[in-house]
Amino acid sequence: MDILDDIVKSAIPLEESKEFDHKLFHKNFIKKRKPVLLKGYAKNWPALKKWDFEFLSGLKLEESVRVEVGNVIQNEINVERFDFSTYLKKLKDYEEKPESERPYLSMFNIFGHFPELFKDVDLSILSDYTKYNTPGGWIGPAGTVTGFHWDSTDNILTQVKGRKLVLLVAPKDSSKMYESKKYDYDAHGSMVDINNFDEAKFPKFRDAVVYKVILEPGDTLYNPRKWWHYVKSLDTSISVSNFGRYKKDFTYYKEFVEYRLHMRGYYRTQDCTCHKTVEGKRIWLGRS
């Protein structure tokens, strides 16, 4: 049963702010670990004027990119590799597929592949206060979904093209989110799939307080660590994110060791978002 529309109708609109002063943002939101929509924060970024699907498809990338198919957090991992330019040129064609089969270029290392694009964005409202940062891009057709999960880092998500719906649930309601045992580096998934909801298995989810926001081009969402979130593209879209860790964040070392053990086959190898078993062999699905 798909309960997305019901959840959206009852969800509470997330607080908005047009105060972009970095010190005030740190005081009022980062220190309080309070999510907020920074309405129009990125409206003057060069990326808003310059980036579109034609522009990006003209960039040369020799290697193929890792593209997720469907909601890999709650469902079986399904990954394909595409030529970057071809993928971008066919985005509208993918919208003819069922939503569960639409490919999503998720957490794409856009600035690693195209470092010249970094001058088109400004992630400093978060990175001013973090020591380690992982910026990335998200590109896909309408209908792509990243299911409910929480990240172990603070992050900002900025919309460059198209719109995205984001639902959030506070850490205090974690007992109602049914945390999954599937391994995902730096993230913790929920077993609750609101697009295919099982009321009998997850009855407490209905009591969780859900917040909602629609990101439009130029908007930035600040999402603190441990806040559960669900993201759905309402249009063919381009987004930019930054995951930031603070100087005294010692969870990084623990998670890095766990990741290394996982990659070598010693830790939580049965179900994850980075490997697939093919003919009895554990295959790493690569990066973008």
**Predicted local confidence at residue 260, as pLDDT:** 94
Residue 103 contacts residue 68 (beta carbons within 8 Å):
yes
Residue 222 falls within a domain, yes or no? yes
Name the token pair of 250. 């010692």
Q: Using alpha carbons, select from 175, 135, 174, 176 the residue that is nearest to residue 156.
A: 135
| Single-letter amino acid, residue 44 | N
CB 284 within 8 A of CB 275: yes
Domain ranges, residue 132: 4-250
> 188 with 227: CB under 8 angstroms?
no
Domain at 203, CATH number:
2.60.120.650
Helix (H) or strand (E) holding 275: strand 275-278
Which residue(s) pair with 164 in the sheet? 215, 233
pLDDT score of 244: 96
* CB neighbourhood size of 260 (10 A): 11
- In the prediction, which pLDDT does 35 show? 98
Residue 273 lies in a domain: no
pLDDT per residue as tens, the chain (288 positions): 999 999 999 999 999 999 899 999 999 999 999 999 999 999 999 999 999 999 999 999 999 999 999 999 999 889 999 999 999 999 999 999 999 999 999 999 999 999 999 999 999 999 999 999 999 999 999 999 999 999 999 999 999 999 999 999 999 999 999 999 999 998 999 999 999 999 999 999 999 999 999 999 999 999 999 999 999 999 999 999 999 999 888 788 889 899 999 999 999 998 999 998 888 888 898 888
97 in any annotated domain = yes
Output the pLDDT for position 288.
Answer: 80
Residue 52 inside a domain? The answer is yes
Q: How far apart are CA 209 and CA 12, in angstroms?
A: 8
Place of tokens 């926001």: 213
Q: Is residue 235 one of the residues assigned to a domain?
A: yes
Q: Is residue 199 part of a domain?
A: yes
Q: Note whether residue 262 is domain-resident.
A: no
pLDDT digits (tens, 9 = 90+) for 37-93: 999 999 999 999 999 999 999 999 999 999 999 999 999 889 999 999 999 999 999
For 217, the token pair is 């081009």
Contacts of 181 (CB under 8 A, 6+ apart): 268, 271
Question: Does any domain span residue 164?
Answer: yes
Residue 280's pLDDT is 80
Number of domains composing the chain = 1
Tokens of 173: 């309601």
What pTM was computed for the model? 0.96
